[in-house]
Amino acid sequence: MISTIAAVAPDPTGLQTLWFLLISILWLGYFVLEGFDFGVGMLIRTLGKSNEDKRAILHTIGPVWDANEVWVLTAGGATFAAFPETYATLFSGAYLALFVILFALIMRGVAFEFWGKSETSRWRGTWEWALVIGSALPALLWGVAWANIVAGVPTKILNGKAEYAGTLLSLLTPYGLLGGVTTLLLFLSHGASFLALRTKGDLHDRAQVLAKRLAPIAAGVVTLFVVWTILRQNNAQGVEWLSALTLIVAAIAALAAVVRTGVNNGQAFGASAATILFLFIGLFAELFPNAIVGRDGDPTLTLSAASSTPYTLKVMTVVAVIFVPIVLAYQAWTYWVFRARLGAEDFTGVHSPLDLIGDHGGGSDAVEVPEGS
């Protein structure tokens, strides 16, 4: 049984519930969109057999990767404004883990910008490894983090509130590590599926072969994580039906990705995205109405205890109603504009971004020109 705060805290209000849902949607968008970015970054050396291949791989996500990261920035900012106690607890108690993720994301961004600044193999190899590691670490650690947030972390009462009381090693539980491996393999498979959809020629063929190999592995690990998560839901209320249902749908979607990979790339990518979507919907459904769950009877921080004032939530709601549709429309337009398939042949003779402008290079008219390419 969960003790102290969780037992006496009131149920969340309508605005608190609304902002829990909105923040959850921001995380869902981040994991679906940034998930294939992580996968592409991890695969650049595996699938890229030449500089032309690697440039094509970078260009598939060049115009969108930084916009995809805005989702997590917005999720963090919304959490700070709507549930400041949650933000303070996570970003102070789990500071080291979040710092590792932040450092990896910074190195990943620098790698995108610096890879094309020199043609030497040592220079490009260095930034390719920075991209691989900078993509793999967050893909792993986000899974570890959210598995622990849902399953429970060490907490204590401080100033009348539940506060995180563990260390980085406290997060490395068997269930937490399985969550990390699940997101790592799922994002890797998601990235391979994305490259099979967005590339052409030999690069497309290699991406499709790899996607067919990765999809069954990812599906197996996702299924194991889903089973463990449902079996672990053994509190006084029993299995939470919405969480269990969506987790089962995630496992089915993972199986659908296996079936459709190599048959229909669009459907395979959609099934991969649905796997990520329903997997995290299941985790967020289990978390509600809590913000941070205590481990083994430790105190739990509820949404009502972590929330800002009703006035703050009302103002945030008005701002979200005005600006969120604009942002979504702009990002959708970006994906539509940069939708062309790319291959190594589009970058023959290309040595710098200037070669992609006008008639200087061999790129097609649809080739994107990301910064630092």
Cβ atoms 275, 259 nearer than 8 A: no
Determine what percent of the chain is predicted with pLDDT higher than 90: 53
CA distances from 101 to 22, 105, 152, 255 (A): 23, 6, 20, 30
Average pLDDT taken over every residue of the chain: 85
User: Is residue 2 scored above 60 in pLDDT?
Assistant: no
Tell me the C-alpha distance between 310 and 345, whole Å: 57
What digits encode the pLDDT tens for the residues 311-346?
999 999 999 999 889 988 988 898 888 888 887 777
- pLDDT tens track for 140-177: 999 998 998 888 887 777 666 667 777 778 788 899 99
Lowest mean pLDDT among 38-52, 156-170, 203-217: 156-170
Question: Does residue 128 sit in helix, strand or coil?
Answer: helix
DSSP category for residue 357: S
CB 321 within 8 A of CB 18: no
Which residue(s) pair with 37 in the sheet? none
Instruction: Label residue 372 by pLDDT band (50, 70, 90).
Output: very low
pLDDT of residue 360: 43
pLDDT bin (cut points 50, 70, 90) of residue 12 is: confident
Q: Are 299 and 4 spatial neighbours (Cβ–Cβ below 8 Å)?
A: yes
**Tokens 């672990």 sit at which residue?**
232
Per-residue pLDDT reduced to its tens digit, 224-275: 999 999 988 765 454 588 899 999 999 999 999 999 998 999 999 999 999 9
**Could you give the C-alpha distances from 164 to 12, 61, 152, 155, 230, in angstroms and in order?**
21, 36, 10, 4, 24
State both tokens at 84: 């400041």
Could you tell me which residues come within 8 angstroms of residue 103 by beta carbon, excluding any fewer than 6 positions away? none
CA 282/CA 247 separation, integer angstroms? 5
Contact indicator for 276, 284 with CB cutoff of 8 Å: no
Quick one: residue 68, left, alpha or beta (phi over 0 = left, psi -120 to 50 = alpha)?
Answer: alpha
For residue 370, the model assigns a pLDDT of: 44
Give the mean model confidence (pLDDT) for residues 96-108: 90
pLDDT band at 357; cut points 50, 70, 90: low
Which element (helix H / strand E) includes 290?
strand 290-292
Residues contacting residue 112 through CB under 8 Å, at least 6 positions apart? 58, 62, 65, 131, 370, 371, 372, 373
pTM of the model: 0.86
For residue 8, is pLDDT > 90? Answer: no
Q: Do β-strands 155-158 and 290-292 pair in parallel, antiparallel, or remain unpaired? A: unpaired
Q: How confident is the model at residue 220 (pLDDT cuts 50, 70, 90)?
A: very high
